[in-house]
Structure 1
């Protein structure tokens, strides 16, 4: 391999007769005067005599051709492999044309590839095109992972990509971007597995009910996360302790159940009292709504007329008291608040507390919170605010040299992040997430945001994501957003729509450059991995097997005898079919070859196959 053509301090061209260059391949240029600069292949090209293409455009120009001929290449006969190489560091002068080029040893580029020890970082995958370096790797960096590749599962044969989680103190927050089928959710699963290995407390909001780690991958990995995570569902295992809410918290929660008008906000501020339970608040709202419907005159008339029981009199006295306090509030707004409170309670939000989440965080576990998207939006506002507040109080007390109750640092992970912190409009959790994005690193609270649509994510938060994992992305607006927020080159931007599932560009201030990696095999698997069409086949086969089991004792059976067996067939099959439906099912089973259909002069007969 040799340098050819015009060189600059930033880029050079490398040619070879035998070696086909690969994207992101690393090379060392043997130029002693420049201390053997290192670079990465950013564009490749191969030429041979069977492809009569002009060289006036693209990677090979006249200067490159002349150089190739001067150093012994036969343009008309040889296969020539060319690569554009971008240097990692600017050279003080242009590289010498004709200089030899070789693959590096690991020690020469270790500082560019590995920033953390395997036991202290997240082992997420393998750096692409580093198999040339594998035989020079130290033992501690080998056999760390398995990769799904073209030929199935293989062992690691390149440099492992180890994300330095400790460096998030300086360069906080992670973004995971990628379209449907790009491997984004798979990559997020691998990150969460690594966080569990390191016992880092993590809060995960899972709108797709897929972040369960009990099922091992089919190939088996030996890793078990059984005691390292806990899954809770809103309304069943966790909820909001209404009595701990401030008036502002109640506003935020109810606004997520349906947008609030200024009049509704005024109702909450007027009616809500400190330490209100759900029951006391909802009763007050319901009683006020009923009193406003009756009107002051009717209530006064009921109280003054007499002839009521003690309970009824007490009720109308309560109505009168509420009208004296809140009679100016509009009925429509009070009804709106009543509906929103009832909706959240029906979802189970006020029937539990967050003790299970706090216990998981204290234990260094991954806590997965599952629920409908709108309910997660409501609940995330409360739980993130509560946990972040506890962490802040502890850190602030420590800085002031006061005694405070320890609360551990933690990560907040969300899939479909644009639903939690959207651009252009408000959302329940948006304000607290923006605060964490801007100030969280001071308190040891960090974000991992995954989304298919980075364009729809709040720009303040996007700008604070110092590390971005970019999977295959097709939409032009999203690619443009990614290019604006990362140091992806023009060539890498063009590759984004064509990345294989599981391939990802990592643009990180921690690494100092963009790297191309392939995500490792996950040790666990999502419950949604079954192909829906396989599921359909499975259910059809199961139905046919059960039906055949019911019919078999009655075979051989003439079509005219279905009526006499109808009651027993329906009872055993747990169906409510008529004769015509059973005949259709018998016909279907015969078409599938599970039973035989014979036509006789007297009847159609169904027999065992």
Structure 2
């Protein structure tokens, strides 16, 4: 391999008759005047006598062809492999044409490729096309995990991609971008597994109910067990909001998360909420005030002049007092607040508190927060603000010399569908706290891992703070434009983004100083959603048929004239079946069609019987 054609301090062409080049592989150029220079293949082509070099003017030109001929290449006979190589660091002056090029030993590029150790870094995957270099790699870096290639699970043979955990202090926050089916969710799962292995406290907001780490991936020898490393919490069932601890700001955020509040509603909440209010006291005040506003002062005073029961008299007295205390609050505002509060109450949000989540973080576990997206938006506003405040208060107290404050650990916040929590162009309840953490969390040891299919829809302030970006297959032009603006991805990588195989990604990180092409490792655990939906249909029908066949066994043979009696017995034994004559007849015919039963015509109609 040697340099050919016109060279610049930034890139060169490398040619070879023996070896085909691969995109993203690392080459070392032995320039006689500048010493070894490291470069990366960004474009590769092969030519033979049936494909003239002159047809690809955008890649090679006459000067390259002339250079090849002078270096002894036979344009008309040899197969010629040509790569465009971009230098890792700009050279002092153009590279010497004819300079030899070789594949690097690991020691030559170790500082470029590996910035951490398996013990202190997150092993996210392998650096693509580094097999030859990996042969001379340190033994402790070989075969760290499995990758899925060509339909098979295999031990990695490439250099591992290790993201230094300690570098978060300098380069905080990770963004994961990619379209549906690109491997984005697997990438997020891998990061969560690595955090659990390092016992880093973390929270993940899980709107798709897929972040369960109980089931191991099959055929992965030595895969760790994560059952005790994470805890799942359902909003409204396991965790919630303690109403008594809510301040006015928290309550406003929760109510506006259900549906945005008008200015009048916000003012009403500020006035009506009192320090020390319980859910019962606040909701009762709302309902009583709404009723009082509907009745009006005159009707209430008229009722008080009548002879009514003591309990009723007390109720009308309270109504009158509320009207006197809050004379300027519109009825529609009170009704709107009450409706939002009832919806939150119906979700079970106020039945629990966040103490279990805090305990999980203190134990160094991953807390998986599950719920519908709207409820996650509501709850995360309160949860993240509360936890971030606990960590910030502890660190601020420590800096002030007040070591007596209650310890709260650094932690990571992760979420899929991040554009729903910090959207671009409009306010969302959780947007404020996520933006604050994106900008200031590094100082307190609170970091973000945000995954989204639509980076264009993610708030620009948040996107700009994501120092490490992992980009999977992306098709939309607007999203690709956003990615190229926010990363150091070049035109070559941008062109490849719509065609990346699932699981392949580009990593843009200031820690590496360049875009790194990786393949994400195979997760140690399985997502609950890995079953193909069409396989799901098949499996469900099979189970339903097997169950019905077991129930029918004691009634065989079954005559067509006796179906009603069989149905009564089956419905008594399994009421959920809710069989009718028509549906049982169809089920029997299907069992015959699938070879589970046999059918015979008799003078008394069809008879269904077993195989034996």
Settle same-fold status: TM greater than 0.5. Answer: yes
Offset at residue 568 of structure 1 (A): 2.2
Name 1:171's counterpart in structure 2.
Answer: 171
Q: What CA deviation, in whole Å up to 9, does each residue of 1:304-340 have, x standing for no partner?
A: 22x2222222111111111111132111110110010
Name 1:582's counterpart in structure 2.
Answer: 584
Name 1:380's counterpart in structure 2.
Answer: 380
Q: Secondary structure at the match of 2:519?
A: strand
Offset at residue 566 of structure 1 (A): 3.7
Q: Secondary structure at the match of 1:36?
A: strand
Q: What CA deviation, in whole Å up to 9, does each residue of 1:235-276 have, x standing for no partner?
A: 111111111111111111100011111111111011000121
Name 2:327's counterpart in structure 1.
Answer: 327
Q: What CA deviation, in whole Å up to 9, does each residue of 1:286-310 have, x standing for no partner?
A: 11111111111111112222x2222
Offset at residue 556 of structure 1 (A): 3.2
Distance 1:168 1:108, change over 3 A: same
Name 2:608's counterpart in structure 1.
Answer: 606
Q: Distance in 1 between matches of 2:536 and 2:382?
A: 38
Name 1:202's counterpart in structure 2.
Answer: 202
Q: Secondary structure at the match of 2:168?
A: helix
Q: Distance in 1 between matches of 2:356 and 2:562?
A: 61
Name 2:80's counterpart in structure 1.
Answer: 80
Offset at residue 52 of structure 1 (A): 4.8
Offset at residue 42 of structure 1 (A): 0.3
Offset at residue 6 of structure 1 (A): 0.7
Q: How many residues align?
A: 608
Q: Distance in 1 between matches of 2:134 and 2:162?
A: 15
Name 2:304's counterpart in structure 1.
Answer: 303
Name 2:213's counterpart in structure 1.
Answer: 213
Name 1:597's counterpart in structure 2.
Answer: 599
Name 1:363's counterpart in structure 2.
Answer: 363
**Contact 2:564/2:581 (<8 A) preserved:** yes
Offset at residue 143 of structure 1 (A): 2.4
**Contact 2:237/2:352 (<8 A) preserved:** yes
Offset at residue 573 of structure 1 (A): 4.8
1:261 aligns with 2:298: no
Q: Secondary structure at the match of 2:12?
A: strand
1:160 aligns with 2:160: yes
Gaps of 5+ in 1: none
Distance 1:483 1:582, change over 3 A: same
1:496 aligns with 2:488: no
Gaps of 5+ in 2: none
Q: Distance in 1 between matches of 2:579 and 2:140?
A: 66
Q: Distance in 2 between matches of 1:579 and 1:406?
A: 67
**Contact 1:232/1:367 (<8 A) preserved:** yes
Q: Secondary structure at the match of 1:213?
A: coil
**Contact 2:177/2:451 (<8 A) preserved:** yes
Deviation larger for 121-130 or 225-234 = 225-234
1:567 aligns with 2:568: yes
Q: Distance in 2 between matches of 1:304 and 1:604?
A: 82
**Contact 1:547/1:573 (<8 A) preserved:** no
Name 1:487's counterpart in structure 2.
Answer: 488
Q: Distance in 2 between matches of 1:603 and 1:228?
A: 62
**Contact 1:55/1:62 (<8 A) preserved:** no
Q: Distance in 2 between matches of 1:56 and 1:360?
A: 60
**Contact 1:10/1:91 (<8 A) preserved:** yes
Distance 1:151 1:352, change over 3 A: closer
Q: Distance in 2 between matches of 1:22 and 1:511?
A: 21
Q: What CA deviation, in whole Å up to 9, does each residue of 1:394-416 have, x standing for no partner?
A: 22222222233222111111110
Name 2:410's counterpart in structure 1.
Answer: 409
Q: Distance in 2 between matches of 1:145 and 1:551?
A: 49
Offset at residue 564 of structure 1 (A): 4.6
Name 2:105's counterpart in structure 1.
Answer: 105
Q: Secondary structure at the match of 1:172?
A: coil
Q: Distance in 2 between matches of 1:515 and 1:391?
A: 33
Name 2:2's counterpart in structure 1.
Answer: 2
Name 2:474's counterpart in structure 1.
Answer: 473
Q: Distance in 2 between matches of 1:56 and 1:608?
A: 71
Q: Distance in 1 between matches of 2:562 and 2:245?
A: 70
**Contact 2:9/2:95 (<8 A) preserved:** yes
**Contact 1:55/1:61 (<8 A) preserved:** no
**Contact 1:257/1:378 (<8 A) preserved:** yes
Q: Distance in 2 between matches of 1:179 and 1:532?
A: 19
Q: Distance in 1 between matches of 2:314 and 2:495?
A: 74
Q: CA RMSD in A?
A: 1.5
1:512 aligns with 2:531: no
Distance 1:402 1:585, change over 3 A: closer
1:353 aligns with 2:342: no
**Contact 1:44/1:83 (<8 A) preserved:** yes
Q: Secondary structure at the match of 1:37?
A: strand
